[in-house]
Structure formats: C-alpha cells, structure tokens
Structure 1
C-alpha cells in the first residue's frame, strides 16, 4: 500500500475517532461538559398503576416534568409485553427498577432509564414492597390472606432468593434506618426490625392497630401511621364502643422506643398514605377523604385539611415539594395524577394508566 495513503488513512481514523468522542461528550455554552442522558426515562416521575384485578393490565407510567408529557405504560412500550396482574410498587436502585407485581407473584427488573427488561424474579407469594440494604433486596410477602407473612431476601447480584424471614401478619411497607430494616405488619399491631447483617428479626416493636405506612423524618425518627381497630355490628356498621381510633406514632430507631402517639378522634375513619416532604420536616396523610399536612415538631394532630380531596394514593416530590394525588377514578379507564403546589393549590393534571396508587421521583 502507498505509504502516503496509509498515513492519510491513519490520520483520518484519528480524526473520526476524535469526532465520535467529542460528539459523545460535548461542551455546553458555559464550557462545562454535558453528560449524555442515560435514557428517555432518566429524570421524571414513575407512577405505579395497579390495573384491574386479574386482568393483567398493571403498568408503570412516566411523567416528564419538564415537557409535561406522559408515557402511560413504559414497560409495555419498551418490551412489547405487559407487566402483569396488580402492579404494587417499584423500587429504583443502581439504575435498575424493581417492579413488584403482586398477583403475578413476581418482580420484573428493568433498566430504570430505558425500561428495557433485565430479568424476572419468580416464585414469590403475594409480594408487596421492597427496600435495598447491603446490596440485598428485602421484599414483604403476605404469603396468604391469613396468618403471618414473611420478608424474602434477594441477592441483587444474581437476582436469586437466598432466605425468608418470618414476620407478622400482612407485612407491608419497609424503611431503612441506621442500617436496620423496619417492616410494618398491617394485620396486627407490630413493627419487625430486621438486621441486614444477620438477616434475622432483631426485635419487634408494638404500636397501635393496623399500621399501614411509615416514613423517616429529618431527625432520623420513624413515623408509623396506624389505621386503628374496627369491630363491626351484625348489620356491618362499625361498633364504636369496641373499636379503637387510628394514630400517628413516632419511634426512636436508636432505642426502638415509642416516643409519641398522636391519636385521631374518630373510631370510624382510618388514616392512611403517610408520606414526607423532601426536607423531612413535614408529613402528609389522608384522613376522612382529605389530605392533611403535619409538622414533625407538632405535639397534636392538625385539625385543618391541607387539600379537600380524596385520592387513591399521594406523594411529595423532594425536588420541588409539589404534592401528587393519584385519582383512580373507579378503575374504569385511565386514572389521573393531580399536582398541587406547596400551599395546597392545584397546578395541573395528567392522564396515566388504570389505578394509579404510588409515585417514585427520579
């Protein structure tokens, strides 16, 4: 080959390689390097849509906050197959989305930024929620609708189930505090504390009846919302003489002691959907068909509703403190997500898939 032609080819190869490199890592007008996006769903809001029971139409919707656009079912869009029957929750860890599909007894794993499928964890028993600790997934499972449930431990490197831990009845949401996993047992009145080093229950904390949600505040204290105990008359009305009201309980994770119990007045109504703002100094919950805002320093429950509307679920964006309300609309068609500013005024709304219930903010 002609030497000059070889040199020109070599120089042209270097030029092209440099062009490719520069195009993949370009500078913006300020001179700083701009990192290319990881995928279309890298930044925004994931909406959990349960779907209709036994119809296999559960979905994860994606809201692009900047462009105010919605992809109603990102998993179906990217993989040409549905997620399954009753999408319960989603947990994002290390750019992977773990979608818990309750009635299909599985967890679908997808790239959190592209939502391309990465695998499936099968053979679970009515799974509900998941947290990650020590590179392991901890998944609550009802197992059945009566009796005690369990927490399954999943090796996230191999996506294999390594152990099951017996907990209380109908375990639901979990929280990670001080490298301990706290599990609320909604069918009773306890919180199980799991040590992720030994993968064993370290202690069990007694709270009020029917704990349904929990959050960690700015002081690393754990708040548990309890629905109360409902007993019924022969005509199925609530017997207020024997029933117990719900409560908002604050736990100290250092000592596992109950520090405060704020009790609701009604024995008929049940509070639920406890969430926190980005700073962790305010919590929100639903009660009597309305949304309430509670400062973590308050010693009594707030009496004034923050939003006079009932939702199937609520969330608070930690980036801008906008409150998100999930309106399932009777599960007849696509539900709605309504956003409110930090003062409680409605901002806008989006149509998502069937049965929106929870939010993950990315």
Structure 2
C-alpha cells in the first residue's frame, strides 16, 4: 500500500512538472509574448480545485496584464490551488496547496527555477526566516516544512524536483506567519484562538498562545518597520461596546505592547451614515508605509443595514489615528486584498465563485477604479517595489 501511494505521488508530481494543460474545460487564455515592461503587481490566482488552474498574473505599470504568465513562459500549468507568494532572493515562491509543492519562479523572466516537493503537508503560507531559508505552513493541516531559498533549492529528487530541508510536525494548525529574530508568530486560522508564538529553533516543541482578536485564516499578520507584529480582529470589551482592535505584539517579549481600537456600531439600526458597521466575512489585511489596512462595511444611511457599502480603513501604527481610507464601489465578491506602495487598493474579485476568470479592481483614494482581468479566483498580491 505504501509503495502504491508513493508511486501515485510520483505520478502526480511528474504531471505538475512536465505536463502541459489541454483539457477542454480549462479556459483558453490569449497567447502573448512576455513583456519587458515594468511589473507593478503580481497576482496569485487560486484556481479551481482539481482543475490545475492555479496561475500567476502580471499587471504592468501601463495597465496591461499577462493573465497566465507562468503557463505562457513554461508551457505548463503552475499547479492545483495556488495559495500565497513571497519574493525572496530574486524569485517568487508560491505554495501550491493541492499539488503539495512550492513553485520557485524567476522574478524577471517568470521561468520555473525549481519545484520543491512537499508531500507531508498541504503548503499554504510562506515566510522567510533567514537569508537562505523560508518556512511553509500547512493551513488546517499540521506542521511546517523548512525550505532553501537559494539555488539549487534543495537536493534533487527522482521526480525532477527538489527536496524540502526538513519536515517539522506540530500539534496545531498554521496559516499566515511573521518572523522577527528567532521568533515566529502564527495565525491559528481561528478568530478566537489568537496567535501562537514559536521559537524558530524548536518549532516541534510547540508555542505559547497570545489571546488577541484576529479576523482568522485569511487575515495576514502584519510586521511594521519597528518589527512589531499586528493582528486585527473584532472585539467586544463589554455589552455596550464593539470595536475593531489592532493588537501590536512584540515577539521577543511574547506580549501585546500596543492596542488601537476603532469604534464599530453595535447594530445596523443604531448606525449613522458613515459609521463602520461590520467587516466582510472573508476579511483580509495588509500593511504599506507603516499603516494597516483592512476592508469594512460602512453605513450610507442612518439605521439602514441594506445601505452598507464596502470601503477600506487605514490605521497609523505610530500615531494611533485611523480613518476611512477609500470606498470600493462596484465590487462583486472580495477574495484577495492588498495595498501598493503608492497607496492604491487592489481587490481580487472572484465573481461569486462562478468558475470564470476574475478581476482585480484597483482603487485610488477617491474610490475611482480601473479593472483588469486576471486568472481564476485572484487571492494574493505581491508588489515588487514593496519588498
């Protein structure tokens, strides 16, 4: 049985590494030459489960886009269910959940540099932990893998890929991460279980939990320029108060050292126009220029739940001030979220999970936006100038 499983996994890896994608039910994307224009943003598109439709889109400074740049350059699919992206040492590292791989992509040419095989986990999120290594979490699975972020990216495997440096079993789930020195903060994926702090040199020994409000599995842990890690979530200090709480965690001290509360209406009927009344159920967070950003629902009429529209709040971690940053009109279903170094808000619209190519809606401070068509279910953004 074990031999059969290993053989099946080898076949699956070979399919990802070498097979071109030609099934009739896969969308046909335009064949274009790879551009040498300036990349403004990289989009990771999750794709449809079991369809091998995970992809990378490149948005250029002139507004044009290559919707499936990895396939275009390498003549094969990226993999099945792309989850995250990190720019490390001149390459994009993309965990591919259902393919059990981390794809390494040249940041300039988009050529595949390596495929790191991770059969022991479902790769979900990635964070650099040193100049030469990164850690990949397993989402609702358990454990991490430690990988090399420098060539040749690990020992060669019989399947033609590269091996992870180490598999590290743990007792709990792990989603987004942030690393500072020898400490690692990990989101449990739960809005009530808080953040777990690990020592990087003894991950399998478990970690200590800090109970802070957190939006959950889709919300990043955000590291500011002073290496304070921020978690954001809804919180009720008492029966008459509801806030969005931003908790700043010093990982070395394993303690919350700063909190910023943004008032939220207790209920829609008591809300006034302009009040923050709720957050999207699938909430996201980002940081740019030492300011935190997260989507919210804002009342546009007094006491009317159905008048709410989506917008974005900005929180200055140095001054503790906050404001409604912009509105995000004409948005279908938010899936991905990011803020560029220029302050533009990027929202991945997955078109209500309708199994068609999604859009990235790019908003400025005035709420004006432009739309670009990308891949299926745009989920993560990477801004090369932000790294």
Q: TM-score, normalised by structure 2?
A: 0.68
**Aligned: 1:185 with 2:188:** yes
Provide structure 2 residue ranges, at least 5 long, that are not aligned to the other structure. 1-34, 155-161, 268-277, 298-309
2:139 and 2:173 in contact (8 A); partners too: yes
- Among 152, 155, 158, the alignment partner of 2:148 is 155
SS of residue paired to 2:187: strand
2:214 and 2:232 in contact (8 A); partners too: no
**Aligned: 1:348 with 2:370:** yes
**Aligned: 1:63 with 2:86:** no
2:188 and 2:194 in contact (8 A); partners too: yes
User: Quick check: which has more Rg, 1 or 2?
Assistant: 1
Q: 1:49 Cα deviation (Å)?
A: 0.7
**Aligned: 1:136 with 2:133:** yes
1:225 and 1:272 in contact (8 A); partners too: no
SS of residue paired to 2:125: strand
SS of residue paired to 1:48: strand
1:210 and 1:228 in contact (8 A); partners too: no
State the alpha-carbon separation in 1 of the partners of residues 85 and 178 from structure 2: 14
Which range moved further: 304-313 or 124-133? Answer: 304-313
Counterpart position of 1:325: 347
- Among 208, 213, 218, the alignment partner of 1:208 is 213
State the alpha-carbon separation in 1 of the partners of residues 123 and 183 from structure 2: 20
Q: Deviations over 1:204-243 (max 9, x none)?
A: 43323654321112333211123679xxxxxxxxxxx9xx
1:41 and 1:115 in contact (8 A); partners too: no
Counterpart position of 1:16: none
SS of residue paired to 1:53: coil
Q: Deviations over 1:226-284 (max 9, x none)?
A: 3679xxxxxxxxxxx9xx9864322123422113263755697557211112x21x211
Counterpart position of 1:296: 317
State the superposition RMSD in angstroms: 3.0
2:197 and 2:251 in contact (8 A); partners too: no
State the alpha-carbon separation in 2 of the partners of residues 41 and 228 from structure 1: 45
State the alpha-carbon separation in 2 of the partners of residues 344 and 53 from structure 1: 36
Q: 1:317 Cα deviation (Å)?
A: 1.4
What is the total number of aligned residue pairs between the two structures?
Answer: 301
Counterpart position of 2:383: 361
Counterpart position of 1:25: none
State the alpha-carbon separation in 2 of the partners of residues 328 and 101 from structure 1: 18
Q: 1:162 Cα deviation (Å)?
A: 3.0
State the alpha-carbon separation in 2 of the partners of residues 170 and 294 from structure 1: 29
Q: 1:160 Cα deviation (Å)?
A: 2.8
Q: TM-score, normalised by structure 1?
A: 0.73
Q: 1:78 Cα deviation (Å)?
A: 0.8
1:273 and 1:286 in contact (8 A); partners too: yes
2:326 and 2:367 in contact (8 A); partners too: no
1:61 and 1:353 in contact (8 A); partners too: yes
Provide structure 1 residue ranges, at least 5 long, that are not aligned to the other structure. 1-38, 230-240
Question: CA distance change for structure 1 residues 155 and 195 in 2, over 3 Å: closer, same or farther?
Answer: farther
SS of residue paired to 1:76: helix
Q: Deviations over 1:53-104 (max 9, x none)?
A: 2222111000111x32110001110111111221111111111221111122
Counterpart position of 1:3: none
Counterpart position of 1:106: 101
State the alpha-carbon separation in 2 of the partners of residues 287 and 198 from structure 1: 38
- Among 287, 299, 315, the alignment partner of 2:296 is 287
- Among 325, 335, 339, the alignment partner of 2:362 is 339
State the alpha-carbon separation in 1 of the partners of residues 99 and 234 from structure 2: 27
State the alpha-carbon separation in 2 of the partners of residues 54 and 110 from structure 1: 22
State the alpha-carbon separation in 1 of the partners of residues 294 and 171 from structure 2: 24
Question: CA distance change for structure 1 residues 316 and 301 in 2, over 3 Å: closer, same or farther?
Answer: closer
